[in-house]
Amino acid sequence: MSGRVVCAGTFDHLHPGHLNFLMQASALGDELIVIVARDETVKKIKGASPDHDENLRKSNVEATGIPKKVVLGNLNEDLFVILDELSPAVVALGYDQRVSEEEIVARLPGCRVVRTEPFHPERFKSSFYRRDR
């Protein structure tokens, strides 16, 4: 595979499921760029603020050494603007991300969208970590 791969997420309570997602995404191309969701965006989408602020979550993803680059998402109503800017060949989606594959392809013709495989979802989900804190 070749080209730029982009994936996105909240990455709150970075856990082995996230690491597996990043590794699967990284294997899809030459370079992986990760978009970490802004605090404000997480609150809008999930109805609650993340436990860790956006800068800590970004630093934690960077510290994995898996992505070439980690960026914070945009604050536009149109969350896909950042994909236009990054021009990926592949967008990797987590198995449980509620994102329309068709909308990505319509926005970025020629871009492949790949759903990654779950990694022990019965043990590694951020909601479990929030619940247990």
Q: What is the tens place of the pLDDT at every residue in 2-47?
A: 799 999 999 999 999 999 999 999 999 999 999 999 999 999 988 9
pLDDT tens, 35-68?
999 999 999 988 999 999 999 999 999 999 999 9
Q: 0.75 exceeded by the pTM?
A: yes
The answer to whether 5 and 34 are in contact (CB under 8 A) is: no
Contacts of 78 (CB under 8 A, 6+ apart): none
Domain count, the chain: 1
CA dihedral sign of residues 57, 58, 63, 65? positive
CATH number at residue 85: 3.40.50.620
- Tell me: pLDDT of 120 over 70: no
62 sits in which H/E element: helix 54-63
Which regions of 10-132 does DSSP assign to beta strands (E)? 31-36, 69-72, 90-93, 112-115
Q: Which two tokens stand for residue 16?
A: 């082995």
Domain that holds residue 22: 4-132
